[in-house]
Amino acid sequence: MLMWEISSGQPPFTNLDYDYNLAMNIVDGMRPMIVSEIPLEYKELMEQCWNAYPKERPDIKILKNKLDYIKKSYYHNETKNIVKDNIIKPNTDSNKIYTSQVYEFKNFPEPRNAAEEEQKGIICICSIRIRCKNQNIIF
């Protein structure tokens, strides 16, 4: 999530309550929408770090080497593949204060990776909840 926060300039899921439902969605494979204008290699590395299975994530040495490569490529203007799909606007009207907290939830399922179509569905559902919440509609 740190790579996402660096690339977006804000904490993930700022429009959602940090609660059991969000935790369940994350365990179910929900990830924040990747911001635009980042190198493709950075996007792919970030997605590897988000893998639900820890053994599938890069270790710190691989992470450092890949980030060094991305940085050198970017500064030498070698990075031509830039993600331009999603634009995330900073959340300026949030009164939330973001701090690390430990949550204890019982009977959590095993984490998994959501398929791309599932991920789009989760984002869509969360978007509907946000709009409804802003209009004081509860479902």
The pLDDT of residue 95: 58
Asked, for residue 117, whether it belongs to a domain, the answer is yes
CA–CA distance, 32 with 35 (Å, rounded to integer): 9
pLDDT confidence bin for 64, thresholds 50/70/90: very high
Count structural domains, the chain. Answer: 1
Q: What is the pTM of this model?
A: 0.61
**Containing H/E element for 82?**
strand 82-83
Tokens describing residue 21: 């439902």
Q: Which residues contact 10 (CB under 8 A, 6 or more apart)?
A: 88, 90, 91
**pLDDT value at 78 more than 60:** no
Residue 34 near residue 46 (C-beta atoms within 8 A): yes
Asked, for residue 116, whether it belongs to a domain, the answer is yes
Asked, for residue 139, whether it belongs to a domain, the answer is no
CA–CA distance, 134 with 76 (Å, rounded to integer): 45
Rounded average pLDDT over 48-53: 94
Which tops the pLDDT comparison, 42 or 101? 42
CA–CA distance, 50 with 6 (Å, rounded to integer): 15
Asked, for residue 97, whether it belongs to a domain, the answer is yes
Residue type, 50: W
Query: φ and ψ at 108, to 5 degrees?
Result: -80, 140
Residue 138 near residue 52 (C-beta atoms within 8 A): no
Asked, for residue 64, whether it belongs to a domain, the answer is yes
Q: Which range of residues forms the domain containing residue 53?
A: 2-134
CA–CA distance, 119 with 86 (Å, rounded to integer): 14
Q: Please choose, from the candidates 44, 69, 48, 67, the residue with its C-alpha nearest in 3D space to the C-alpha of residue 58.
A: 48
User: What is the chain's Cα-based Rg?
Assistant: 16
The pLDDT of residue 37: 82
What are 3-13's pLDDT values in tens digits?
Answer: 999 999 999 99
Asked which of 66-80, 104-118, 123-137 is least confident by mean pLDDT, the reply is 123-137
